[in-house]
Amino acid sequence: MGAIEPNWIALLWFALFATVCAIAFLVVSGMFPLASRPERVKSAAATALVVGNGLLLTALLAGTALYGYAELRWTTLVVVTGLVVLFAPGLFEVWPSSMRDGPAGLVVLVGIQLCALAVLANIAPRALANMS
């Protein structure tokens, strides 16, 4: 494994963060345009959840990209991102439709993204310090 990617722990973290990003993207993109959302998520609170998930996704995507750029080889970054994009829809389909298309799923997704951002904020400063 060391010959392919010497920093395999960072590879595992990046794969996890990228998977969360991909699944969050699939859930959030299903809520746009706002007028065509499922009936269960047309309230003002659900709109706030959709917008909040979008903002968290943007932050997580940027952090994940910077972390991957700082810690991984470019080829590893491309291959792992491709694999995540390829297989994330399967994980998305495993979720029950009541969770992925409803307010409960949006709340769970906020929690998952907040946890991922907290872990990323804990491990990324060391990686970003190595860049400079």
pLDDT in tens, 21-57: 999 999 998 888 877 777 778 888 888 988 999 999 9
pLDDT reported for residue 102: 82
Question: Where does the pLDDT of residue 132 fall: very low under 50, low under 70, confident under 90, or very high at 90 and above?
Answer: low
pLDDT in tens, 82-125: 999 999 999 999 988 877 788 888 899 999 999 999 999 999 87
Tell me if 72 sits within 8 A of 14, measured CB to CB.
yes
**Given 3-state DSSP classes, what are the helix, strand and coil percentages for the chain, each rounded to the nearest 5?**
85, 0, 15
Tell me if 63 sits within 8 A of 120, measured CB to CB.
yes
pTM for the predicted model, two decimal places: 0.88
